[in-house]
Structure 1
């Protein structure tokens, strides 16, 4: 199991692949576009991406994952990025 710092480094690697993005947030890193958050790293060290309903269901099915939870609640439209994908950036959605 990876530490929170290792997961933060992976989250930063995702962002580095998209120079138009900037990591925001001090205690809970996230990215946004046009004022809408679309990815984040929660305090548990889990990464969530926002998807359309159809794309989210397809991603969850393909990679055997679930909805993303933060602060004890599921975040509507967000999918948990499983650690099994942390070594394969190409599997991650194009943000």
Structure 2
């Protein structure tokens, strides 16, 4: 299950030319000193947005806040199985997340 989700995550990240997948035990993307997507131990994928965008997407995609290691990840939404049926559209969300992260002051 987890390995299959990582393969889907890798395919998702591969659709985004500006983004590189990192991490062996915790697959993730990061830029500007911030992590902005990851696969948790349950095999769930989360993507980070601004607070306003997070609230919009929680409603639009009928999803929930993303949790990893029993903690709610600030700004992240859970990428649902339904969302993963259209990797191109979800890749656009990952690109949008990257743009948000790059707009923040570097860490």
> Do Structure 1 and Structure 2 share a fold, with TM-score over 0.5?
yes
Note the alpha carbon deviations across 1:56-94, whole angstroms, 9 max, x for none: 111110111010000001011111101111110233214
TM-score by length of 2: 0.81
**Does structure 1 retain, via aligned residues, the 8 Å contact 2:9–2:45?**
yes
Unaligned runs of 5+ in 2: 96-107
Please give the alpha-carbon distance, in whole angstroms, between the structure 1 residues aligned to 2:60 and 2:19: 26
Deviation at 1:17, TM superposition (A): 0.7
Unaligned runs of 5+ in 1: none
Number of residue pairs matched?
93
Root-mean-square deviation (Å)? 1.1
Structure 1 consecutive aligned stretches of length 4 or more whose deviation exceeds 4 Å: none
Which structure has more helix as a fraction of its residues?
Answer: 2
